[in-house]
Amino acid sequence: MKTSKAVLMTSLAVLLVLSAATIVSQNAWGHGVQAQLQSRFIEIQDETFSTQSLDTGDILEVRGKLVSKVNRDLRAWISIFSESTNAGNRWEFIARDPPGNVFDIPPNGEVPYTLRVKALEPGVYHVHTQLNVASVGPGLGPGLTVFVEGDPIIKPLSVGNVVYQTVLIAIGLGISFATKPWQVI
């Protein structure tokens, strides 16, 4: 009788340990995006993508709606966030709706959006709508894995942009040297 109780208790203990081990050892798959990135102020709903595979030079269209959950106006700007294994992340914006860089989201309102981007580099990307809300921070839509094939599209570097940035850096250095902050010490 004692032996059968000992066998029963040992079997029960082994069963508990094995069941706990299978729960702990389950695989979890993800792509590195933090869980915090769905705002409690604005929700990105009905995010849809025009395609899941395209060639370089083709247009990817992302649509959805931004739903405010607060009783005040919010200023925001919208973009895409993408991750890839090849560190490419090269997209060119073709169009945004709402247009412009910054727009307002009315209290408890809905704002439909459309983003059109051109794929510039082949790769496997996980693409999300990225909404940046002033004084709140970024939020991401659910996203989709997008496959891009083809030859990379090299965009020429704008000489005007390089000159503009160089002038800004030179002005900053000039101000630093003119005010001589090291003489305070």
Give the model confidence (pLDDT) of 42-100 as tens digits: 899 999 999 999 999 999 999 999 999 999 999 999 999 988 776 666 899 999 999 87
Q: Share the mean pLDDT of the chain.
A: 81
pLDDT for the residue 66: 94
Cα–Cα distances (Å) from 67 to 40, 55, 115, in that order, read 10, 32, 17
Higher per-residue confidence, 156 vs 73: 73
Whole-angstrom distance, CA of residue 123 vs CA of residue 148? 5
Residue 38 has pLDDT above 50, yes or no: yes
**Phi-psi sector, 52: left (phi>0), alpha (psi -120 to 50), beta:** alpha
Of 57-61, 154-158, 160-164, which gets the smallest average pLDDT?
A: 154-158
Strand order in the sheet with 59-68: 42-49, 59-68, 110-119, 91-97
91 touches 57 (CB < 8 A): no
Q: Tell me how many helices (H) and strands (E) the chain has.
A: 2, 10
- CATH 3.20.20.70 assigned to domain 42-151? The reply is no
Burial 13-28 (b: 16+ CB within 10 A, else e): eeeeeeeeeeeeeeee
79 touches 51 (CB < 8 A): no
